[in-house]
Chain A
């Protein structure tokens, strides 16, 4: 086993949170059987919605593309099993409180017939990096850490920058979630293979695999796989267990001791970060030709009878997944998709599992946290903020709706990790306030953009009308001129010609 290295940068603030991970990591990952019906949202990624390329009643096979990206940023959606398309309609999805979004609904036939790959794919090492990127694009692969940014586009964007290091993110710092942990324990070799593919696509010679220190089994398993692989470009790094060290920018800082600039990306400091799950998905697509049609997700929380990690097909409803694990516990009260810090509350479990769903959390009736009181200016929020913002100041400016100051104090850089909420002795919901303020700033910017466009259109129209008026005047002037040049005799002749028919009547 290769020993993990420890030389690390520093992360400001952060919190040590109780992990609650042991309970869902006792059993291996179990496969959820094919459900009777799959619900596949056409937007499972950052960017424009994919456009459906199948119609009602079409028979589809497992792995068949059912929606293609439309626009510059997006990823295709594949059928997760074989069956018949029975509807394309709005269905509750795991956005805010289960808002509806267009989904393709497939009634599964249970045969699970896969689409055949007619052409044999060559070894990825013989492919040009650009062709490899195009291939990754076809796999429908998006960032599986939760941000679901299309992987191929992220790589393409990174290729325009000077990148030195690939960082595989196996940190998974949020409580309860353990899907990446289980994946690293069980599929370490596939993850490393995915890393090699990504390195070839980016022509890189260095890759760090960062894993939190509270995952000894994952570190062990990755170390064994590394020793077997014998690729010296890959280095295992152990990072301390601090929330939110798994944030992209925070991880870059921890691993390379470089700070990502405000409003910038890790590519600005020569790093490309990919989730370990994404690397495994890249391996599955490029080596095994299986597009992203399933993912590992953690089903946990006190409201779950048997917490565990499962591999479910994309499109399986949360209700089906929970039923497979053994159902809800008696006092289950509240469903959250994602982790307890950054997840979203759901009003229904009819929502489908999508590419972003890394955790299904069911909690009991939340204990009373305490009434919101006035800020006592203790400054605890500032000392835990991982990006060194001043949540206290930001809170006042959100109350005063002061857009200029909010920008100045870097609200835009807030990663909404929720650390400030947890430590606030006055129980002020800071992160919720910041989210609203961000929305409002965005709204203002949109309004400004709309006004600007309306003004341009208005001015263009005025110019056009003015041009038309001038053209008409010029034409009239020219006619007058030509009549004048012809002289009075010609005019008299024309008038006479006009009078003639009248005499005929």
Chain B
């Protein structure tokens, strides 16, 4: 009877040790990790990190080819959370940006639809030769619409001021 008890106790101990080792040391499923990293990113899709969107950057971070401090809209808090999640050293943000929204000067807009096509989250409405406008609540402040505008009628305004003025 003691042999049986001992055998089971040893099996249980061995299994417990193996499981705890696996959960601590072995890398998690990469796809899950990408998903988790992506969840921490602000989803502005602004490409300021040098990758074409938040998920590609998340993938690069998990692969180890990108640093964790490349996301300006996420701010220091995102760097800290990424460091926590991935067990890496926290580092200073490459560049700081204030949260902002794009505002179209409607007296200058010529209705060229370039900005509308550039917007990653479809936050600009308007048809060809008609005035365009930004849906403020959906704008992520990625600035991708500013460069394509041929008449420079789009400006970025700090989020707090824009919200207060309405």
Interfacial residues, chain A to chain B (CB-CB below 8 A): 447, 450-455, 457-458, 460-461
Contacts and interface: CB of A to CB of B under 8 A. Distances in A.
Interface in B116-143: 120-123, 138, 140
Given A451-B41, A451-B42, A457 B123 contact: yes
A452 B43 contact: yes
B122 A457 contact: yes
19 contacts: A447-B42, A450-B43, A451-B41, A451-B42, A451-B43, A452-B43, A454-B42, A454-B44, A454-B45, A454-B138, A454-B140, A455-B38, A457-B121, A457-B123, A457-B138, A458-B54, A458-B121, A460-B122, A461-B122
B53 interface: yes
B83 to A, nearest CB: 15
Q: Sorted from nearest, which 8 A-B pairs have the closest CB atoms?
A: A451-B43, A457-B121, A454-B43, A455-B43, A458-B45, A454-B140, A461-B122, A454-B121
B138 A453 contact: yes
Contacts of B53: 458
A450 B45 CA distance: 13
Interface string B37-65: 01001111100000001100000000000
Nearest to B119: A461
Contacts of A460: 122
B73 to A, nearest CB: 10
Given A450-B43, A454-B44, 7 more contacts: A454-B140, A455-B43, A457-B138, A458-B53, A458-B121, A460-B122, A461-B121
Contacts of A451: 41-43
Nearest to A454: B43
Nearest to B139: A454
Given A454-B140, A455-B54, A461 B42 contact: no
Contacts, number: 32
Contact of B120 (A450, A452, A453, A458): A458
B54 to A, nearest CB: 7
B56 to A, nearest CB: 12
Nearest to B80: A401
Contacts of B140: 450, 454
A445 to B, nearest CB: 14
Q: Is the interface of A mostly helix, strand, loop or mixed?
A: helix
A89 to B, nearest CB: 15
Contacts of A452: 43
Nearest to B138: A457
Contacts of A461: 120-122
Nearest to A455: B43
Contacts of B38: 455
Interface in B24-44: 38, 41-44
Contacts of A453: 138
A457 B54 CA distance: 13
Contacts of A454: 42-45, 121, 138, 140
A454 B140 CA distance: 7
A451 B142 CA distance: 12
Q: Which of B43, B120, B121, B123 has the most CB of A within 10 A?
A: B43
A447 B123 CA distance: 17
Contacts of A455: 38, 43, 54
A461 B45 CA distance: 12
B117 to A, nearest CB: 10
A225 to B, nearest CB: 50
A184 to B, nearest CB: 42
Contacts of B42: 447, 451, 454
Contacts of A447: 42
B119 to A, nearest CB: 8
Nearest to B123: A457
A453 B41 CA distance: 13
Most chain A CB within a 10 A radius of its CB, from B53, B121, B122, B123 = B121
A82 B21 CA distance: 78
A457 B135 CA distance: 13
A479 B41 CA distance: 44
B38 to A, nearest CB: 8
Nearest to B41: A451
Nearest to B140: A454
A460 B45 CA distance: 13
A60 to B, nearest CB: 27
Contacts of B120: 458, 461
B97 to A, nearest CB: 15
A221 B41 CA distance: 62
Nearest to A465: B117
Contacts of B122: 457, 460-461
B135 to A, nearest CB: 10
A452 B41 CA distance: 10
A457 B45 CA distance: 10
A232 to B, nearest CB: 54
A258 B114 CA distance: 62
Contacts of B43: 450-452, 454-455, 458
B121 to A, nearest CB: 4
A70 B41 CA distance: 35
Contacts of B54: 455, 458
A452 B43 CA distance: 7
A455 B120 CA distance: 9
A42 B38 CA distance: 41
A453 B137 CA distance: 10
Nearest to A448: B39
A461 B38 CA distance: 18
Contacts of B121: 454, 457-458, 461
A459 to B, nearest CB: 9
A374 to B, nearest CB: 26
Contacts of B138: 453-454, 457
A451 B75 CA distance: 14
